[in-house]
Amino acid sequence: NILSNISLSINKGDTYAIIGGTGVGKTTIIDLLLGFYKINSGKITIDGTLLKDNSFNSINHIIGYVSQSISYIGDNILKNITFSEHNNSADMKKVNKVIKVAQLTELVESLDDGLYENIGDMGSMLSGGQKQRLGIARTLYREPEILILDEATNALDKETELNILNNIKKYYPGITLIMITHRNTYLEHCNKIIEVSSNKVSVRTSKTYMS
């Protein structure tokens, strides 16, 4: 077992950082929350409702997940944000909001066709950091109640990273934010630090950890 005898509570509206060495189970915790794995023992509940095995589809409407590697379609920026919607049916108020939150305004304004600029096959016309920001914008467009960032800003500089974090907390004040990170940039901005090591999980306040 990667994780054994762990107990963890995540409070609505709080911000969490999950830290720990490589291979200790950080992503496994997230995959369990997303319903990807069968649980051998114990249970996971969301608002008191039992999370069933392989239940990603049933909770997809409340959880937004941004991983290190994101898939893109060879189309324009707008289509890659709204994804399943036609350009003429997109909620432009929401689109403009997520562009601002994800720090994409400068990029969009610099392009000849703006939101309608084609980003190339798998986002080949964008840098790594721009693609990560686009992935965050796409996920926020769905307005999830829980946002999970799995090393989703590792291609960004510290200032941009913190600006996005502050924007998410400002424009989505009720969102529950869970971040897997190897950086200390986020830690002082989190309510709790979840540290994973040796098949165990410990939870501390950010102030306790930073001291």
- Give pLDDT tens digits along the chain (211 positions): 778 788 889 999 999 999 988 888 888 888 888 878 777 788 888 888 777 755 666 677 889 999 888 888 889 999 999 986 666 778 999 999 999 999 999 999 999 999 999 999 888 899 999 999 999 999 999 999 999 999 888 888 889 999 999 999 999 999 999 999 877 767 888 889 999 987 788 888 765 554 4
Which residues share a beta bridge with 63? 146
Extract the tokens encoding 206: 């950010």
158 in helix, strand or coil?
helix
